[in-house]
């Protein structure tokens, strides 16, 4: 019998690796095929029937022809494997084909992911191509540019805003940097969502993860600054958690500290009293609010209110006061008594909110009900997610409907319905199941789009900077009428065409306006709109029947419309 992984209760398997008790609330006993969640097992996982793994939020089909060949997790297409246990198709946008057993994890690829050797490449959310010339030499994760590796395991390019070039083997992990991330020595820096510059002068000395200030380390691999609000400085080599280091991770004291989501300083003087993140020793907390128990191997006990974040604990997680606890994967009860008092994250009990904006129902087992506008984020709820006012809801993997009635009203993140925006730059379309359309050249942060532009506001104009000086092809748009127009109510109309007035400044700067007649708007076929965030101007086109114009006259009408749009924009600014 193989070891159990991440069980919160008991996990008993009667066959070789037939169960990974992941996110269990109680016992997990498998008696028949398709009885368990086989999630990236290290041993064998044997099933006897097709589609017997876990089809978790698939939009297409999940078909398996051999033993444990596929975990179809949020696939948009088909996920078919021809050999046993050869692929995990996780949120692929295209095809994920593996030619050798267990050679590739295609995770949110936008292009092709082809491996020529066993386990040589993890193509994770690449925007371009991800080709590996040596076994296991590159993890191309959400690159905006090119990610080329010249040596084995030399670079992890993760959501860079600039260039990520590695001159030595495994010298840099550029992860969501806001500035430049340049490494001059092997494996000297992991720049993860820094607010300033992240420069390292020594090998593997710092993981700057969502810091609010500076994160500078003067010794090798001495600090993991993870979501700190202040400074996080360690004076000994790798005594925190050396996360994603390519060098050695040696601690001279037993598992003493990982500063994860601290509010101030996080200094540990005893074995593992802060955050025990996959430690090998015990995780014991002696004072209130001293511990986030994250995947501990021992016990995690708290004695006072608002004293801890129970994350995958083996004991109970009970809160006695408002806003005192984030119950994440608790094995006990999670009860709140006051409005806006908690984030119910994967609780085993009920999650009920009595006031507006008081609850984030994340994977609750009970109901998630909201009664007021802008009152909740429906994240994987078991009930419905209904919003009544603009900008009131982030529909993230809802099982029900996600409806918005006003402009700039939502972030459509993996919705099961449509993703509709009324104005430019009003929506972050992240992995929508519908279309992702921009109305000005790259006018919004379209995550996983094919464009490479950035929008900024310059005076009264929308300035658009394209990395490769390329314009975006405009497509028909689906919108819902906004509050400043002549239509009333949540009525859908269509933009029949789009005219753009483009001016190029230098080589990379473009400025555009979008206007267009509306179809399906009763008698308002001669009405133009300028699409700008949270605004709409109405411009009448006098004595022009646009639909009867020839192409030359239409272009002239477009120019007139663009000029009127420019004037209207200046008048209403």
Query: Rounded to 5 degrees, what angle do the CA atoms 393, 394, 399 make?
Result: 100
Q: Give the Cα separation of 544 and 549 in Å (integer).
A: 8
Q: Which long-range contacts (CB under 8 A, 24 or more apart) does 117-121 make?
A: none
Alpha-carbon Rg for the chain in angstroms = 27
Q: Give the Cα separation of 568 and 562 in Å (integer).
A: 10
Q: Give the Cα separation of 324 and 357 in Å (integer).
A: 16
**Quick one: 227 exposed, middle or buried, by C-beta within 10 A (0-12, 13-18, 19+)?**
middle
pLDDT one-digit tens code per residue, 24-35: 222 222 322 223
For 267, the 3-state DSSP assignment is: coil
Query: Looking at the DSSP assignment, which residues form a beta bridge with residue 537?
Result: 530
- pLDDT < 70 stretches in the chain: 1-573
List the chain domain ranges: 137-252, 453-572
Which stretches does DSSP call E strand in 166-215?
A: 172-175, 189-192, 207-209
Contact (Cβ atoms closer than 8 angstroms) between residue 157 and residue 140:
yes
Output the pLDDT for position 15. 29
**Quick one: 535 exposed, middle or buried, by C-beta within 10 A (0-12, 13-18, 19+)?**
middle
Please report which helix (H) or strand (E) contains residue 568, including its range: helix 551-572
**Quick one: 248 exposed, middle or buried, by C-beta within 10 A (0-12, 13-18, 19+)?**
exposed
Q: Give the Cα separation of 106 and 122 in Å (integer).
A: 6
Query: Rounded to 5 degrees, what angle do the CA atoms 406, 408, 410 make?
Result: 90
pTM of the model: 0.14
Output the pLDDT for position 550. 52
Q: Give the Cα separation of 440 and 159 in Å (integer).
A: 23
Output the pLDDT for position 551. 56
pLDDT one-digit tens code per residue, 483-536: 233 322 222 222 322 333 233 222 222 223 333 333 333 323 223 333 322 222
What is the 8-class DSSP label of residue 567? Answer: H
């Amino acid at each position: 019998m193989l070891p159990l992984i991440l069980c919160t209760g008991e996990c008993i398997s009667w066959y070789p690796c037939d169960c990974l008790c992941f996110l269990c609330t109680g016992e997990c006993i498998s008696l028949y095929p398709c009885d368990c969640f086989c999630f990236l097992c290290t041993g064998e996982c044997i099933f006897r029937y097709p589609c017997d793994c876990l089809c978790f939020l698939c939009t297409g089909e999940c078909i398996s022809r051999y033993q444990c060949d596929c975990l179809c997790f949020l696939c948009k297409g088909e996920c078919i494997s021809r050999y046993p246990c050869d692929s995990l198709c996780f949120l692929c946008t295209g095809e994920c084909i593996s030619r050798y057993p267990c050679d590739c994890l295609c995770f949110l690829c936008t292009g092709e992911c082809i491996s020529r050797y066993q386990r040589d490449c993890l193509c994770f959310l690449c925007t371009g191509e991800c080709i590996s010339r040596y076994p296991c030499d590159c993890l191309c994760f959400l690159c905006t540019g090119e990610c080329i590796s010249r040596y084995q395991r030399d670079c992890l390019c993760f959501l860079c805003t600039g260039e990520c070039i590695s001159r030595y083997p495994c010298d840099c992990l550029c992860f969501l940097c806001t500035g430049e991330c340049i490494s001059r020595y092997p494996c000297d820096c992991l720049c993860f969502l820094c607010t300033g510059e992240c420069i390292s002068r020594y090998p593997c000395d710092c993981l700057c993860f969502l810091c609010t200030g500076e994160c500078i380390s003067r010794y090798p691999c001495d600090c993991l600054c993870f979501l700190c609000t202040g400074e996080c400085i360690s004076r000994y080599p790798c005594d925190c958690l050396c996360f994603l280091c390519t060098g050695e991770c040696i601690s001279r004291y037993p598992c003493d500290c990982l500063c994860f989501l601290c509010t101030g300083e996080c200094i540990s003087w005893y074995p593992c009293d802060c955050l025990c993140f996959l430690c090998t020793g015990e995780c014991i907390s002696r004072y209130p609010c001293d511990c986030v128990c994250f995947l501990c191997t021992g016990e995690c006990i708290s004695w006072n209110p608002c004293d801890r974040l129970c994350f995958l604990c083996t004991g109970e997680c009970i809160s006695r006061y408002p806003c005192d606890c984030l119950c994440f994967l608790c094995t006990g009860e999670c009860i709140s008594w006051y409005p806006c008092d908690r984030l119910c994250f994967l609780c085993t009990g009920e999650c009920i909110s009595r006031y507006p904006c008081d609850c984030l129902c994340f994977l609750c087992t009970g109901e998630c009900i909201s009664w007021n506008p802008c009152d909740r984020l429906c994240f994987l709820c078991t009930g419905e997610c209904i919003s009544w006012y603009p900008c009131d809801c982030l529909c993230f993997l809802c099982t029900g409907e996600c409806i918005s009635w006003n402009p700039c009203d939502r972030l459509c993140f993996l919705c099961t319905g449509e993703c509709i925006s009324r104005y430019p730059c009003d929506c972050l379309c992240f992995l929508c199941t519908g279309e992702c359309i921009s109305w000005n050249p790259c006018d919004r942060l379209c995550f996983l789009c094919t464009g490479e532009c950035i929008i900024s506001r310059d005076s009264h104009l929308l300035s658009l900077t394209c990395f490769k000086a390329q314009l975006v092809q405009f497509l028909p748009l689906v919108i819902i009428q906004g509050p400043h127009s002549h239509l009333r109510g949540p009525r859908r109309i269509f933009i029949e065409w789009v005219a753009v007035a483009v001016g190029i400044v230098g080589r990379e700067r473009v400025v555009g306006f979008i206007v267009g007649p509306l179809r399906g708007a009763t008698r308002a076929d001669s009405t133009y709109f300028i699409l700008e965030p949270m605004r709409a101007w109405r411009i009448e086109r006098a004595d022009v029947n646009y639909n009867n114009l020839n192409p030359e006259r239409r272009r002239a009408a477009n120019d007139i419309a663009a000029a009127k749009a420019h004037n209207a924009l200046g008048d209403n600014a």
